[in-house]
Amino acid sequence: MNSYTPVIGLEIHVELKTKSKIFCQCSADYFGKVPNTNTCPVCLGMPGALPVPNRTAIEWTIKIGQALGCTINKHSKFDRKHYYYPDLPKGYQISQYDEPFAVSGNLMGFGITRVHLEEDTGKLTHAGDDTLVDFNRSSVPLVEIVTEPDFDSVEDVKAFLEELHTIIKYLDVSDANMEEGSMRIEPNISLSVIADKAERMKHLPNYKVEVKNINSFNFAKKAIEYELIRQAGILDAGKTPAQETRGYNEDKKITYSQRSKEEAQDYRYFPEPDIPPIELTDKEIADIKATLPELPAAKRERFMKDFGLKENEVKILVGDRSIADYYESVFSKIKLNRASSDIENIEKLTASAIVNKRISINQSLDEFTEQFIEVYKPVEVDEDKLSSVIASIIENNPKQVEQYKSGKTGLMGFFIGQVMKEMKGQADPQALQKLIIEKLS
């Protein structure tokens, strides 16, 4: 069997949560609506109906591009992408081809080729021998994020997608709800015999397989893993995998052929004649960039540097912007409360309380503050009794003492637990640790 290196690029589709669709006044909130009731002549592609671009959709697309470190094109345009499929009423999709809004970005060291805006299609539902079409989703604004074929491991793909999902949520431009289809993943997968990445990028495989419309990070991982095994078998047999579009069967955990994969020329792109080119000024681009929030990577770095938090704590806190905001608001409020003046390391303790769910965040800042002070307020301790208890625990656990002194420092939790049990919780765990270390040494 030959040795192969995966070559993986990603196309991620994100539906924007604008109030109206991209080219008409129909509501963009289509999920759960009665089929074909959220439509008009524009999104149904009726003759003579003219599209008018949604300004907010354009600005949010640029915002996503900026968050991904892209260059924003001052001049861009919409194009017609022709293909004939039942969910495309006009016989073409209004998209962007050679002049998208954003190009040449980077996230986590992986290249972003482009970020462009297009209209979503209708939705097909297969019922027995029939295929039904619902056009409620047709013309909802859809951002497509295309990466370079930089990935050579499924772990990197999953980590990238999770970070991108977090960024989209931070920007508040999409619900990014995978189950409802407002964020969909389409990996492009092939295998190369070239191990060196620089050389591999110069000589990409002469085929690629696209797996369409995956709505889960885990399903994306499993679909790619299946494809790598399937393609390796074909290559080992001396054949080249077909360049095609495939689907993923979640129940059988396999991919299946849908149709041959089109090339750009097959879509017969040409500029959309009903929409003038979009011209942006430096000020307009700067104004949009000024609306960017602190992004997850910067927030994680700040939380660790300024508050001394651990990486696992920061991952949980920053994973949801509302939790991160609550954390900063609540510890600031706690520090202003006079009753907390003798509590040390409030930032760390607040993070621990939230991460370990010791105090619920489903309450007001005042309620959280009251519970925090009750939980972490130093208690009056009988110092003589505490000293006697520590000495007794150490004397009665010689094996654990020997193991601790030989380097198993994780046993500190054992000693603290035993002392807290004897003291019926009436001791400060942090101060207790210092006393135990002194006794042990």
Query: H helices of 140-216, where?
Result: 154-171, 197-202
pLDDT, position 264: 66
The percent of residues above 90 in pLDDT, for the chain, comes to 78
Q: Give the strand order in the sheet containing 270-271.
A: 92-95, 79-82, 270-271
Q: What is the mean pLDDT of residues 395-422?
A: 88
The CATH number assigned to the domain with range 384-440 reads 1.10.10.410
Say if strands 209-211 and 244-249 run parallel, antiparallel, or are unpaired. parallel
pLDDT, position 430: 67
**Confidence band (pLDDT; 50, 70, 90) for 378?**
confident
**Confidence band (pLDDT; 50, 70, 90) for 228?**
very high
**Confidence band (pLDDT; 50, 70, 90) for 385?**
confident
Q: What is the mean pLDDT of residues 293-300?
A: 97
pTM of the model: 0.86
Structure tokens at 228: 């790598």
pLDDT, position 409: 84
- Output b/e per residue, 144-169; b: 16+ Cβ within 10 A: bbbbebbbeebebbbebbebbbbbbb
Quote the CA–CA distance of 49 and 39 in Å, as a whole number: 13
Res. 396: pLDDT tops 70: yes
**Confidence band (pLDDT; 50, 70, 90) for 424?**
confident
Quote the CA–CA distance of 254 and 226 in Å, as a whole number: 6
Structure tokens at 335: 């520090």
Q: Cβ contacts of residue 101 below 8 Å, gap of 6+?
A: 58, 61, 62, 65, 72, 73, 76, 115, 116, 117, 278
Domain ranges of the chain: 5-289, 296-376, 384-440
Mean pLDDT over each residue of the chain, to the nearest integer: 93
Quote the CA–CA distance of 212 and 396 in Å, as a whole number: 63
For the stretch 67-92, pLDDT in tens is 999 999 999 999 999 988 899 999 99
